[in-house]
Structure formats: structure tokens, C-alpha cells
Structure 1
Amino acid sequence: MRILVADDHRILLDGIAMLLSSIDGVEVVSKHTNGRQVLTALEIEPDITLVVSDVQMPVMGGIELTLQLRERFPHVKICLLTVADQPEAIKEAIRAGADGYVLKNAERSELETALSMIAKGNKFYSEQVLMQLANEAGIELIPDAGKPQKIAITQRELDVLKLIAQEYSGTQIAERLFISPTTVETHRKHLMQKLGVQTTIGLVKYAIKFQII
């Protein structure tokens, strides 16, 4: 796994790079102090698998970097490693398309798990991050609740569920998925029936609980 690292605090940057380099199968190709440098490096560095980036950096921060990666280098994964644990920052990262969101107080084992899951094409949000989202939504979240039961959810219903969990309105969902608001509402009702929930908050709880977003 070939990785680029970005953090504007050089001592932290060196420490993060050293930690990542000590993980089996990981090669830290280069270190950068802002997102723009990362984009420049990606233009010349072949076969980069993942970018590990701070959120708050000068010139270009992690959220804008995530948006740029999705547009210009969609094959490159990004894990945001940050101290920003506010729900709004987390939701902004999810909306931008971040593959992972890990807090800097995480244990080494959690970071290893995050990199492994992201490399396999999965999303990873640390337990603290999920708890922050759940608390903000007034949801009681049980972190070790296990895997979701097998429920026959269509791909379109899953698309709608993801956008509902990211707080898009029915009209916004319709515009993003090129369907009518009435169809969005139909999918919402079907999801509630299938998942056994009574409200939109119940749908959000399901999405957070099983890391669908």
C-alpha cells in the first residue's frame, strides 16, 4: 500500500509517517503540509493507494482535498486523520466522499484497521466519530451491535438511505438521483417498512449503526 501523508504540523507529520511506515505492507511515499502539494505529488507518483490527511491545513485542507481527489483521482482513497471531532466537520467529510475518518487520539490498532478496511473498498469511521454523530442526532448507539440482518434493500433504496443519513432533503435527494420527490418518499416508506423503523431518525440510526454512510 503506497501512501501519501499530509499534515501542516511537521512534528506530527514526521510522527504519523513513521507510524504508518512501521505497519506491514505500508510504504509512505512522501510527506506534505497541505492538500495542494498532495495533488501535485499524485500527478507524478504512480500507483498511490491512499492519502492520509489532516482536515485543517493552510492553502488546501482535507475536505477540499477529498473533493479534488474524487474528481481528479477517483481511484485514490483518502482517510482523514484529525482532532476535529465536531459533528458538522464529520458530516462535511462524509459528504465530500472521505473513505475514513479517524481521530488523532486513536490507538495504532484502530489506524491499522482503518487502512485495511479502506484498502479493501470499505468505509471506516472510528467509534468516537460514530458516537458524535449519534449523540448529535439524539440516538442511543450501541457500538458493538454486530452486523445488520440480511434485508432485501434495493440499490436505489440504499442510495436514498445514504443521502437521508447525510441530511439531504427529499427535493435534494431527487435532484441528485434524477428521480421525482414522490419516488424519494416512496423509497423512504419502503425503507421504514423493511427496517422496522417509524421515523427518519430511525433510518439515520440504522445507517450510522451499520456504517452505511
Structure 2
Amino acid sequence: MRILVAEDHRILLDSLAMLLSSIDGIEVVSKHTNGKQVLTALDIDSDITMVVSDLQMPIMGGIELTLQLRERFPHVRICLLTVADQPDAIKEALRAGADGYVLKSAERIELETALDMIAKGHKYYSEQVLMQLAMEAGMELTPAIDKPQKIAITQRELDVLKLIAQEFSGTQIAEKLFISPTTVETHRKHLMQKLGVQTTIGLVKYALKFQLV
């Protein structure tokens, strides 16, 4: 996996590049202090798997960089690594097309998981990010039933839940489980009813909370 790193604080940039380079299968191709430098680097060498970028940087920040990548280099995945956990910033990043949104408070293992999932074509958002979105939507964050085994979830529903949390589409889930897309949607609706959530974000949050993925 060939990665470009963008972070405007030089010490953090060097530390992040060193951390990423220590992960098996990752090559940090170059380091940059703003999004414009990243685009210039891609003009020279576009054979890049992913960009790991800060959100707030001078000249060109993570949001504008994400928009530019989607337009000019759609094959390049982007993971935003930031301290910004405000719902507005998160939603702006998702609308721009970010493949991942990870907070800088994350442990190394979470970052590794995020990069692996994103490289495989999935989305990844930190649990805190999902919680912020859930609170913004007015969802209940403290379920009355505190353990998954107390809820009558079938094995097939659990299989669907895990794949939803990994950002597979309904069609992809159907193919993996050898069922129809209509059946997948039925399982999704049943899960929402059983878990008392209103959206897919609620399902993902539940799966993350109980470490189902």
C-alpha cells in the first residue's frame, strides 16, 4: 500500500510517517504540509493507494483536498486523521467523499484497521465520530438492553449486521450471503426494530460498541 501523508505540523508529520512506515505492507511515498503539495505529488506519481491527511491545513485543507481527489484522482482513497469531532466538520467531510474519518486520539490498532478497511474499498469512521453523528440525529446512546445476547438477534441477522458495519452495499451483502437484496433489506429493518435505532449509523454504532466487527 503506497501512501502520501499530509499534516501541517512538522513534528506530527514526521511521527505519523514513521508510525505508518512501521506497519507491514505500507510504504510512505512522501510527506506534505498541505493539500496542494499532495496534488502536485500525484501529478508526478499517481500510482498511490491512499492519502492520509489532516483536516485543517494552510493553503489547502482536507476537505478541499478530498474534493479534488474525487474529481482528479478517483482511484486514490483518502482517510482524514484529525482532532475535529464536531458534527458539522464530520458531515462536511462525508459529503466531500472522504473514505475514512479517524480521530487523532485513536490507538494504533484502530488506525491500522481503518487503513486496511479503506484500502479494501470500505468506509471507516471512528466510534466517537459515529457517536457524534448519532447525537446530532437525536439518537438514544444508552440502550435499555446493555448486552447483545439479551436481544433475540438471529445468526443471519448478525451476519448482515457485521457486513453493514463494514460498509458493504445491500447487493454485495446479498452476494456474500447467497440471499436476495430484498431479504437483506428485510433483515436490516428487523435489526433496526430490535435494536431500537432509526438509521444505518445506529446499526454500525451498535456493532462497534459490542465489537462485532
TM over 0.5: yes
Shift in Å, 1:140? 2.5
State the alpha-carbon separation in 1 of the partners of residues 18 and 90 from structure 2.
Answer: 26
State the alpha-carbon separation in 1 of the partners of residues 159 and 126 from structure 2.
Answer: 16
Tell me the SS of whatever aligns to 2:130: helix
Structure 2 matches for 1:37-56, cutoff 5 A?
37-56=37-56
Please give the per-residue CA displacement for 1:123-173, whole angstroms capped at 9, x wherever unaligned: 00011110111112111347x97654599x977xxxxxxxxxxxxxxxxxx
* Corresponding position of 1:12: 12
The one of 203, 207, 213 equivalent to 1:209 is 203
* Corresponding position of 2:120: 120
State the alpha-carbon separation in 2 of the partners of residues 192 and 131 from structure 1.
Answer: 25
State the alpha-carbon separation in 2 of the partners of residues 71 and 148 from structure 1.
Answer: 32
Please give the per-residue CA displacement for 1:77-122, whole angstroms capped at 9, x wherever unaligned: 0000000000010011011000000000100000000000001000
Shift in Å, 1:209? 2.6
The one-letter amino acid of 1:134's match is A
State the alpha-carbon separation in 1 of the partners of residues 62 and 203 from structure 2.
Answer: 25
In structure 2, the CA distance between the partners of 1:130 and 1:22, relative to structure 1 (3 Å rule), is same
State the alpha-carbon separation in 1 of the partners of residues 83 and 58 from structure 2.
Answer: 16
* Corresponding position of 2:111: 111
Q: 2:197–2:203: 8 Å Cα contact kept in structure 1?
A: no
The one-letter amino acid of 2:203's match is K
Structure 2 matches for 1:181-196, cutoff 5 A?
195=189
Q: 1:2–1:50: 8 Å Cα contact kept in structure 2?
A: yes
Shift in Å, 1:12? 0.5
State the alpha-carbon separation in 2 of the partners of residues 63 and 208 from structure 1.
Answer: 25
Tell me the SS of whatever aligns to 2:85: coil
Q: 1:77–1:119: 8 Å Cα contact kept in structure 2?
A: yes
In structure 2, the CA distance between the partners of 1:202 and 1:22, relative to structure 1 (3 Å rule), is same
Structure 2 matches for 1:63-212, cutoff 5 A?
63-141=63-141, 148=160, 195=189, 203-204=198-199, 206-210=200-204
Q: What fraction of aligned residue pairs are identical, expressed as a percent?
A: 71
* Corresponding position of 1:167: none
The one-letter amino acid of 2:18's match is M
Q: 1:147–1:210: 8 Å Cα contact kept in structure 2?
A: no
Q: 5+ unaligned residues in a row in structure 1: which ranges?
A: 156-190
TM-score (norm 2): 0.72
* Corresponding position of 2:25: 25
State the alpha-carbon separation in 2 of the partners of residues 193 and 17 from structure 1.
Answer: 42
Q: 2:134–2:201: 8 Å Cα contact kept in structure 1?
A: no
Shift in Å, 1:46? 4.0
Please give the per-residue CA displacement for 1:48-73, whole angstroms capped at 9, x wherever unaligned: 00000000001000000000000000
Q: 1:148–1:210: 8 Å Cα contact kept in structure 2?
A: no
Shift in Å, 1:202? 5.2
Q: How many residues align?
A: 172
In structure 2, the CA distance between the partners of 1:154 and 1:128, relative to structure 1 (3 Å rule), is closer
In structure 2, the CA distance between the partners of 1:210 and 1:33, relative to structure 1 (3 Å rule), is same
Tell me the SS of whatever aligns to 1:210: helix
Shift in Å, 1:7? 0.5
TM-score (norm 1): 0.72
* Corresponding position of 2:211: none
State the alpha-carbon separation in 2 of the partners of residues 55 and 42 from structure 1.
Answer: 19
